Amino acid sequence: MNIIGAGLAGSEAALQLADAGFRVTLFEMRPVCSTEVHHSDCCAELVCSNSLKSTKEASAAGMLKHELSALGSVLYRCALDCRVPAGGALAVDRTSFAERVTGLVEAHPRIALVRGRVDGVLEDGDVLFSDGAGKARPAGLPAKAVVIATGPLTASALSEGLARLVGSQSLAFFDAAAPIVMADSLDESILFRQSRYEEEGLGDYLNAPFSKDEYERFIGELVAADRVIRRDFETKDLFQACQPIEEIARKGVDAPRFGPLKPVGLVDPRTGHRPWAALQLRAENREATSYNLVGFQTNLTFPEQKRVFRMIPGLEHAEFARYGVMHRNTFVDAPRALDARGRFVRSRESGYAVPLFAAGQVSGTEGYCEAIRSGLQAAIGVAAELSGATPPALPRQTAYGALWSYATDPQTTGYQPMHVNFGIMPPLPVRVKNKGERYAAYAQRGARALDAYIEALKASGVPFAFGGAAAAGE
């Protein structure tokens, strides 16, 4: 089959299908052409933060990780192998992670990794392909199924084709990424090493403490600084979950103090008190040679980022390894465009003789682990389709099942890409007042539902390797 896009979702789908015994052609446009945010030609490059979020069992992100582990996700295993310290979160050395995934893809005997841009999908599953020389032409590789996993920065010709396929529901809008600074340019006589409440591992974060005066001067400059895109970020087509820091500050001088600059759980050892506000910096790699400004996605121009962010205590001489940037974010309106198995509902009426699947961010999910999980689920869907077996329905009690049923429920209106969260899970049969106990109950119920799902999937005859060796031949 043809999989388009070797990001998190596409790489996971390819490795799962290949492990299950299917032959896969995986198309990746980099390095022939790149995006505004990718820096390498590796598969599964993490484009912003290096954190895959909390590992705490009684959290939605922790539940998702349990699902990835139980189902045998290849990329999740790679992430564990490339882990760097990050308190209670799973963070990775992004270079090692991407190189490890690329190595697995390239070495797999059933995967052909083809470098070039796909500009369209043809009716027989072949693709319109450009390797950078001349016009796009059919690749000559018809397929029994196609997975589109081209992510939030899907190249424009393919996005236009997607928009035609799903009607006018395919949208492009903006998202924001945080800057990264070099560790040896930071002033550790001002910054202090501490995890919030010290509960998630000692000292995995550097904290920049603000006094009231320093904070107010900083916010004043932040809201007045030059931006790249002059646009009202409160409009409905803005990705609300990833607001640039200057837009948060524009809502009120104290808004960042209750958001990314919140000081709760931190005590400045120099004063013995909680600072007025604090920025947290998280290591980007194993060696902690660079740090990410946590929650500082931004749309400021590069010179303004340098000027304004150097007003943060301890960052006066900061060298920027990477500035924050703004991005497009392409995704389909999943409740109307996709069915429960992730297939485009209008593919048949649009003349396609083969099923077209969507996976990853383009399918309307949001987040690294969600993209990996979505690639894995697309692999199950494709394997079912090609083998003629009927897969069990994904239980809504699981983290991804809840997200996916919300995303593909035609009753969902105004759909925005979403992380897994407890808010979309079915309520517990008995009300549990205590928050910790409630989350633990969600996690336990989800784990039971997942066990039942895995048993049913095994019994269904869908070829799937569960992280093991090849299960079936095509």
d(CA 128, CA 358): 17
Which residue, 19 or 119, has its beta carbon nearer to ligand FAD? 119
d(CA 330, CA 150): 9
Provide the phi-psi class of 417: left if phi over 0, else alpha when psi is between -120 and 50, else beta.
Answer: beta
Q: Helices (H), strands (E): how many in the chain? A: 12, 19
Structure tokens at 430: 């008995």
Which residue, 150 or 408, has its beta carbon nearer to ligand FAD? 150
The minimum distance between CB 37 and ligand FAD, in angstroms, equals 5
The minimum distance between CB 276 and ligand FAD, in angstroms, equals 27
Which residue, 35 or 412, has its beta carbon nearer to ligand FAD? 35
Which residue, 361 or 387, has its beta carbon nearer to ligand FAD? 361
158-161 — which CB contacts under 8 Å span 24+ positions? 158/4, 158/117, 158/118, 158/119, 158/120, 159/330, 161/119, 161/120, 161/121
Which residue, 48 or 122, has its beta carbon nearer to ligand FAD? 48
Which residue, 378 or 402, has its beta carbon nearer to ligand FAD? 378
The minimum distance between CB 86 and ligand FAD, in angstroms, equals 13
Which residue, 243 or 387, has its beta carbon nearer to ligand FAD? 243
The minimum distance between CB 428 and ligand FAD, in angstroms, equals 27
**Which residue sits closest to ligand FAD, CB atoms considered?**
7
The one-letter amino acid code at 229 reads: I
Structure tokens at 1: 């089959």
Which residue, 44 or 402, has its beta carbon nearer to ligand FAD? 44
Best CA proximity match to 52, nearest among 286, 369, 288, 297: 369
Q: What is the DSSP letter of 392?
A: P
d(CA 203, CA 211): 21
The minimum distance between CB 337 and ligand FAD, in angstroms, equals 15
Cβ partners under 8 Å of residue 251, min gap 6: none
The minimum distance between CB 420 and ligand FAD, in angstroms, equals 11
The minimum distance between CB 440 and ligand FAD, in angstroms, equals 24
d(CA 200, CA 263): 16
Contact 328, 173 (CB under 8 A): yes
Structure tokens at 98: 């991407």
Max Cα separation, the chain? 69
Which residue, 25 or 387, has its beta carbon nearer to ligand FAD? 25
The minimum distance between CB 448 and ligand FAD, in angstroms, equals 27
The minimum distance between CB 297 and ligand FAD, in angstroms, equals 8
Cβ partners under 8 Å of residue 238, min gap 6: 173, 174
Which residue, 219 or 407, has its beta carbon nearer to ligand FAD? 407
Burial class (CB in 10 A: 0-12, 13-18, 19+), 132: exposed
The minimum distance between CB 60 and ligand FAD, in angstroms, equals 13
Interface residues with ligand FAD (CB under 6 A) are: 4-10, 27-30, 35, 37-38, 47-49, 117-118, 149-155, 158, 175, 177, 327, 329, 360-362, 366-368, 371
Cα 121–19–139 angle (5° rounding)?
25
